[in-house]
Amino acid sequence: MADTSSLEQLIQALRRLPGVGVKSAQRMAFHLLQHDRASMRVLAQALQEADARMRHCALCHTFTEAELCATCSDPRRDASQLCVVETPADQAAIERTAAYRGRYFVLMGKLSPLDGIGPRELGLGELFERACDGVVREVILATNFTAEGEATAHVIGEALRARGLSVTRLARGVPAGSELEYVDLGTIAHALVDRR
């Protein structure tokens, strides 16, 4: 592109972002260098701070800067309900409906045998321990309605029912094959009410 290594290294570093190919990375690098030096410094600092400060909530596993996340620290949340989601984005989608006042367990992924992600890698043992704490009365499976999300819900549901827990699944109001974070709020709210 040009003859200088710091430009080439910036392009290569931008390509590490998911969904960014070489053409996009070049455009990003040129735009930043030519028109938006301030954003280079802002983004560099944000990356370093997030890397240094973000860890996982000890209780629900979502991202947090503290030992416990805000939801887990909130005494007004109903501890008898535990909603299992794949990602913080899915959790946020459910929170935006304001239709759920229980607690969460964020898998931070899903079962994906082809990628080597089994029950152990996904930390299902910790979920089962949490669900069997004697306080949780109902586990709501809100994994995505994709093949992998359904398989994940199936495995968790079977294991928790075997432990005598009440397990429900978001109702079929959510269109099959879709991912929660892209579903409109009304559909998610309806699926929460109609959970089975």
Interface residue list for Zn ion (CB under 5 A): 57, 59-60, 69, 72
Element at 140 (helix H, strand E): strand 138-141
Write the CA distances from 72 to 67, 104, 106, 120, 149, integer angstroms. Answer: 10, 8, 11, 23, 24
Say which entry of its own copies, Zn ion, none residue 59 contacts (CB below 5 to 8 A, set by partner kind).
Zn ion
State both tokens at 26: 């070049």
> Is residue 18 involved in binding its own copies (CB under 8 A)?
yes
Strand partners, 169: 141
Name the binder of 60 from Zn ion, its own copies, none, CB < 5-8 A by kind: Zn ion
Which of its own copies, Zn ion, none does 53 bind, CB closer than 5 to 8 A by kind?
its own copies
In whole angstroms, what is the distance from residue 40 CA to residue 30 CA? Answer: 11
Q: Is 16 in the site for its own copies (CB under 8 A)?
A: yes
Of 62-70, 126-134, 138-146, 151-159, the window that binds its own copies (rule: CB under 8 A) is 62-70
Candidate residues 59, 67, 70, 172; the one interacting with its own copies per rule CB under 8 A: 70
Of 2 and 40, nearer to Zn ion (C-beta) is 2
The interface region with its own copies, picked from 29-37, 124-132, 155-163, 184-192 by CB under 8 A, is 29-37
- Check: CB of residue 165 under 8 Å from CB of residue 131: yes
Residue 5 neighbours by CB under 8 Å, 6+ apart: none
DSSP one-letter string for 22-81: HHHHHHHHHHHHHH-HHHHHHHHHHHHHHHHH-EE-TTT--EESSSS-HHHH-TTSEEEE
For the bound state, the minimum distance from the C-beta of residue 145 to its own copies, rounded and expressed in Å, comes to 18
Give the residues lining the site for its own copies (CB under 8 A).
1-7, 9-10, 12-14, 16-19, 23-24, 26-34, 36-37, 39-54, 62-66, 69-71, 87-89, 92, 108-109, 181-182
